Structure 1
């Protein structure tokens, strides 16, 4: 019999699915999937409000529309899982998906809500890469969601609310709070988890009063509370994009631009920042090259007593995703490396001495990867762990065999391991055909344990021991058998100390 659950808007009918096998013996039991449930609606550039009620039982058996977006630029389009499901105006993307092993209010299972990444301009929660059936298989109710992206979600426009994509995420979390018990979830045990822009979104939600109390735990993968635009920088971005489109920098003018013009212009904007990263032109976006980000007056780390358990971390060689496939790794010069160190606020002589001393024979491109990985991802993760006592820190270190092994432990390489879907073909271009299941077992198990109990299985981080779990620490790109994980104390301390007072 097809499962039916009741929400405040009406009843929804899902389908039973058999998830991939886990570590336990035997065939896993079927789980129920409910796809494309509307959680909110919104006028163009407006605040989301709860979705309209419906009569009867609504089919929830297919993914709903995704946010309006342009494809990833080559060569990333071949490496990062992405899909687009059309469905009308941008606001129609406000839908979510639920996987549960036990529909009904009796189960009271932990809940995990996934916020996808994509530089605030790409990605969706409606893709096989983020199929939540593996979490449901292991006793967790998993939710994935879509939110507005790019101009619709994050461009600063006078007279309309900022951070509309974040407001969408809050609306989705409010829907989860109000409805998840019907799907077997415990509204008192909600963990929000995300990667890249998804993790950066969570980093902002941790400091937003409206998001307070909507989740008990948070997992931030390769993102923190450091990436945002102050209003003056946001206005520069708006003016540049409006000039490119030959329109006034107003909500009304942008609303009149068809997607066929707007989306290519969004993509071109990011390319222009990369080609000429001048702060006078782009403000803070000149450093991270993301024109669409949360708009804030200033960075705020969560209070020590924020009431949210944190698991945060990064990948060891994040920036290689942006250097190796584009062949920039070998093209980077020593002068570019020094200029980047200065832009980050580092003393270039000291920085190159520290990073180079730990990597004898490293090329400028390899040192650029290490330094940029720290600025973008590792140091923000450490700062979050430092800010909330009892937080847990991890590092993903398994090195992909792709591109002759040079892609390494790059940005987004951990996703298939977290979702325990390393055999999903959408991950193959990034992690190859034989990724180690042992690493997926360890990482997925830790995420499930943290959602259930707040303890992923190792010691919390503190300033004395600085304990971190390293996943795939002893893995070799071609290894058949790997050491799945192991703890370490104070990874690369000299490099960490370079950023004190700067990042």
Structure 2
């Protein structure tokens, strides 16, 4: 990673984002000057000017036939408008946005398009557990991050669920790449960044990946895929880990469940390749034979594209040279399990253990777990204990495993954070899954944000934007007080107001849940 030039916006950003001692975090979001008038241009694409930056939406980076590897889209050709998002990948769930199998589009925000600018590039992958989601969400609009962090921001859509991850290899060698096609889409997108981002003012030698939830898991998986080696130089995952991939046996059971739900017999794969995609999406509601609930499709240990698990039995060696931020929120499961919903209705000490047992992913006696928490935290309510235990036993262990594995391997420095700021908009939400997104993107006022827009929210936004943009600029977070994660101290940044460092802040919970092995859901 190259260091930024002295006095660059990134260095000024880093110097002003101070930590500790009650210091106020103050970052004035810049609006870089854009030379020239009219619509901005990069290659054959014509974008728009907004919020002080140039925005290019809906750039096709590849094409792909169903269940086939993606083919890169030529960069040269007739002039194209890039002023609207491409369609979402087909997926379940209510949406008013257009969906289409032809969904391999990316978006770029840049302070200017001068090739000599050579700004670092931050590439974002969206969440949704490989089965849903999109980067067209207003929370992940890249304009403010591009301006405030002095970076080029790229957001990527790719194939999801059965279209990107169904395991079809048992049908023959024509499907040898199935199970990881969604990952191959991302690799083609990163090759597009390598080959073309200079036209947008970006530096192909300083590419940082960041992603939330499933987006972070996609990054962790890429860190074990040989074809992705060298395409990015730093990474940050936000509540998104992938310790192990799906085994081919479980992946095949899911494909068989899909075929059964569609009522297919005979040459099932021919029907899968030709039937209308909405019918395939409807079948995703069938029961998952491994996890229960709707069908899940994710990366498969195919021994070619993905020849090993990302973080088992250790951190993939090809990822050791990549500096990395790993983070989670303190109350992850408050986003999944509504405190006003039926799972919390009537919660008390008598039924707490049974309700925790239904939600966690580590096989421990829930009554023993509750007894341990009550002895350690005698003043906690049943609700507080429920969310602490379900977060620590379901959504957090993967991060601990990944951070410890990197530290044990002597990998390039790792920095770990815990997002602690409670939502001022909905106090029952706490610091939930996804709540760190608007602080990194600077989209505090976007629909779906629970951050509020007050002084404390703005200060924490400046600190988190500084941290992430600093990693892109120099390979180190842009907060001088953030100490690397090492064993046994496990130094962790607590993103609250103000941010502060702590060693192993949930050490007791970490040790309790490590009593039994963590099994990656879906693997």
* Alignment TM class, shorter chain as reference: 0.7 to 0.9
1:13 to 46, 54, 77: 46
- TM-score, normalised by the number of residues in structure 1: 0.83
SS at match of 2:501: strand
Partner of 1:442: 463
The 1:338/1:192 distance shift into structure 2, 3 A limit, reads closer
Q: How many residues align?
A: 450
- Distance between the aligned counterparts of 1:32 and 1:385, measured in 2? 36
Partner of 1:313: 327
- Distance between the aligned counterparts of 2:142 and 2:361, measured in 1? 40
- Following superposition, the deviation at residue 496 of structure 1 comes to 0.8
Partner of 1:356: 374
- Distance between the aligned counterparts of 2:261 and 2:377, measured in 1? 43
Partner of 2:385: 367
- Distance between the aligned counterparts of 2:483 and 2:180, measured in 1? 35
- Distance between the aligned counterparts of 2:356 and 2:109, measured in 1? 48
The 1:16/1:432 distance shift into structure 2, 3 A limit, reads closer
Partner of 1:188: 205
Partner of 1:427: 448
CA-to-partner distance for each residue in 1:424-477, whole Å, 9 max, x for gaps?
Answer: 1x124x4457682222121112111111112212110011321111112xxxxx
- Distance between the aligned counterparts of 1:177 and 1:192, measured in 2? 13
Question: Is contact 1:102-1:184 (8 Å) kept?
Answer: yes
CA-to-partner distance for each residue in 1:145-168, whole Å, 9 max, x for gaps?
Answer: 110111111222234222111111
Question: Is contact 1:110-1:189 (8 Å) kept?
Answer: yes
The 1:252/1:336 distance shift into structure 2, 3 A limit, reads farther
The answer for unaligned runs of 5 or more in structure 2 is 1-37, 303-307, 519-523
Partner of 1:76: none
Question: Is contact 2:146-2:152 (8 Å) kept?
Answer: yes
Question: Is contact 2:362-2:513 (8 Å) kept?
Answer: no
- Following superposition, the deviation at residue 134 of structure 1 comes to 1.1
SS at match of 2:396: helix
1:120 to 122, 130, 133: 130
- Following superposition, the deviation at residue 63 of structure 1 comes to 1.1
Moved more, 155-164 or 171-180: 155-164
Partner of 2:83: 61
- Distance between the aligned counterparts of 1:168 and 1:60, measured in 2? 20
Partner of 2:157: 146
- Distance between the aligned counterparts of 1:463 and 1:346, measured in 2? 25
SS at match of 2:448: helix
Question: Is contact 2:128-2:213 (8 Å) kept?
Answer: yes
Residue 110 of structure 2 is aligned to residue 107 of structure 1:
no
Partner of 1:393: 416
- Following superposition, the deviation at residue 340 of structure 1 comes to 4.6
Question: Is contact 1:223-1:376 (8 Å) kept?
Answer: no
Partner of 1:166: 183
SS at match of 2:154: strand
1:140-289 equivalences in 2 (<5 Å): 140-158=151-169, 159=172, 160=175, 161-226=178-243, 228-248=245-265, 250-266=268-284, 268-269=285-286, 272=287, 281-282=289-290, 285-286=291-292
- Distance between the aligned counterparts of 2:423 and 2:468, measured in 1? 21
Partner of 1:466: 490
Question: Is contact 2:359-2:394 (8 Å) kept?
Answer: no
CA-to-partner distance for each residue in 1:392-413, whole Å, 9 max, x for gaps?
Answer: 000111122455x221111111
- Following superposition, the deviation at residue 107 of structure 1 comes to 0.7
Partner of 2:505: 491
- TM-score, normalised by the number of residues in structure 2: 0.80
Please tell me the root mean square deviation across aligned C-alpha atoms, in Å: 2.5
- Distance between the aligned counterparts of 2:107 and 2:208, measured in 1? 15
- Following superposition, the deviation at residue 83 of structure 1 comes to 6.2
SS at match of 1:93: coil
Question: Is contact 1:39-1:94 (8 Å) kept?
Answer: yes
Residue 330 of structure 2 is aligned to residue 291 of structure 1:
no
- Distance between the aligned counterparts of 2:65 and 2:510, measured in 1? 45
Question: Is contact 1:83-1:126 (8 Å) kept?
Answer: no
The answer for unaligned runs of 5 or more in structure 1 is 19-29, 73-81, 274-280, 473-482
- Distance between the aligned counterparts of 1:431 and 1:289, measured in 2? 31
- Following superposition, the deviation at residue 343 of structure 1 comes to 5.8
Residue 20 of structure 2 is aligned to residue 3 of structure 1:
no
CA-to-partner distance for each residue in 1:244-298, whole Å, 9 max, x for gaps?
Answer: 22124943222333343332332x23xx45xxxxxxx31xx35x97712211266
2:435 to 375, 396, 413: 413
The 1:62/1:343 distance shift into structure 2, 3 A limit, reads closer
- Following superposition, the deviation at residue 45 of structure 1 comes to 0.9
> Which gives a bigger RCO, structure 1 or 2 (Cα 8 Å, sep 6+)?
2
Partner of 1:477: none
The 1:338/1:140 distance shift into structure 2, 3 A limit, reads closer
Question: Is contact 2:63-2:70 (8 Å) kept?
Answer: yes
The 1:107/1:95 distance shift into structure 2, 3 A limit, reads same
